[in-house]
A and B are shown apart, each in its own frame.
Chain A
Amino acid sequence: MSGKGRAVVRCGAAVGLLLALGAGVFAGWNLGAPSTRGTSAAAPPPSPTLPATGAVAGAGQKRVVLFGDGMVDGYGLPDGKSLPLLLARARPDLLLIDLGLSHEWSTQLVARVRDVTTAQADAVVLWTGSYDPANGVGAQQYAANVATLLDALKGTRVLLLPPVSLPTGPDVSAYAVELDRVAAQHGVQVLDATSALSAPDWLDSGQELGPRTDAALAALLAKAL
């Protein structure tokens, strides 16, 4: 190739490379750290109490959905004392998908069960009923809701936890009886959580479980899952 030809080629390649690079930036390709212009502070390092986030984190883990109210979420407790985090520590082989929401009752779970059925879960921990009486859901309706949930989760391993009576709330033993009945009909296991739930500790609100109970439940679930 002549000197002039080489120059033409170099020039053409350089222009093409620069244009491709420019278009990549325009299209949002991450060629470097994203801009954090403005007043926002840079992201803090991940909390030491939480597992790291990463591209292949969780690869090969069993997927377990925690589905229910704030009790399964450890609501009100600091990260390191909550049921999901304690369970994650005890069983790093599990990817926990925590879908617990504070004070939800069984009817609300029915309305959002699709997020569970599409999560490709290997197992689901279902814990509901503790807040049903306060929201006007009777034991029969509770049973029907649980049956609907179990029907939706058919084919997935489900561990049920029994409802708990709040310190200032009504007794939920009738709900627990219904749970046992529905579980037996569906061939699903109700976890014996007597050791953890017979005398639970409570946060000051009287609505959420305390750290001792969450620790006991995490140990229980770590063995059961």
Chain B
Amino acid sequence: MSSRAARCVAVALLALVLAVGLGGAAGWGLHYASASTHTASAPTPSASPAPTPSATPTPAASASGAAPPRKRVALIGDSLTYGSGLAAPQDLPSVLRKLRPDLDVISVAVGGQQSADLLGRVRQFRLLHADEAVVWIGGQDADDRVNVESFRGNLDKLVTALAPARVVLVTPIADYAVGGTLFLPFAAATRDLAHQRGVPLVDLDNIPRSSYLSDNTHLDAATERRIAVLYAKAL
């Protein structure tokens, strides 16, 4: 084989390595809810070192020398998104901004919100002109024993109403101050909806109680950071 042919084969092998690498990157709690991947079991966010997304400019930006266009992301949710109990910059939005300086992250999270409350705020969300929206809701629905089908319906309407923004759904987690298992059907409904709508899902599975603050409702800084890393990969 000539040297030219050898170079071509090397390119093909490089593509193969790239393929393997990208396939592996789809794991670690981040699921794209296509039929082929949704059934994969979701790992519990672990204490293993979190991969930090590169903050280097995109190739296009490097080539032109101009700053890349910033993608605007709306963080929609409750006190878990807000990072209640944590001081800045330990809260999730602040960590995400640090991890992904190329994103324009706007948090519109409000503590104690249910899915129905978010539907009443769609006008606010759409005013943001967000390219993407991360929706993490359901904990309060679970605490208040909202009908799961109503919750799912609200979430479905929200995904529709936020279009054309790309929506990323996040599964609700336990509120140990109220009950450690109430969230489970709401998390299952979120997974199912993500699968049905074909939208990306950040599956937090079952976060251990040791990852919570002393109020047993909100998450500690390390866990919020791990979730921010998952967001950074999903966006």
What is the interface of chain A, defined by CB distance below 8 A to chain B?
1-2, 5-6, 8-9, 12-13, 15-17, 19-20, 22-28, 30, 34-41, 43-44, 46-47, 50-59, 73, 79, 82, 84-85, 88, 95-101, 111-112, 114-115, 117-119
Query: A8-B1, A9-B12, A13-B12 known; A27 and B25 CB under 8 Å?
Result: yes
Contact yes or no, B131 A19, CB < 8 A? no
Could you name 29 residue pairs across A and B whose Cβ atoms are closer than 8 Å?
A8-B1, A8-B9, A12-B9, A13-B8, A13-B15, A15-B16, A19-B19, A20-B16, A22-B19, A23-B19, A28-B234, A30-B166, A34-B166, A34-B197, A34-B198, A43-B159, A50-B127, A51-B127, A52-B129, A56-B69, A59-B70, A82-B123, A84-B124, A88-B127, A95-B128, A95-B129, A98-B123, A112-B110, A115-B82
5 closest A-B pairs (Cβ-Cβ)? A16-B15, A28-B32, A43-B163, A35-B198, A12-B12
Shortest beta-carbon distance, B178 to chain A, in Å?
Answer: 20
**Nearest chain B CB to A59 CB, angstrom units:** 7
A1-B2, A53-B131 in contact; A16/B16 too (CB < 8 A)? yes
Residues of chain B at interface, number, CB under 8 A: 65
The CA of A101 and the CA of B108, in the complex, are separated in Å by 11
Assess whether B22 is in contact with A26, with CB atoms less than 8 Å apart: yes
For A35, give the chain B residue with the smallest CB separation. B198
Instruction: Quote the shortest CB–CB distance from A27 to chain B (angstroms).
Output: 4
A32 to chain B, nearest CB (A): 11
Please indicate the chain B residues that have their CB under 8 angstroms from the CB of A43 in the complex.
159-161, 163-164
Contact residues in B for A15 (Cβ distance below 8 Å): 12, 16
| Given A9-B8, A20-B15, A112-B110, A37:B129 Cβ within 8 A | no
Find chain A residues with CB under 8 A from B9 CB.
Answer: 8-9, 12
**Given A5-B2, A34-B199, A114-B22 contact (CB < 8 Å):** no
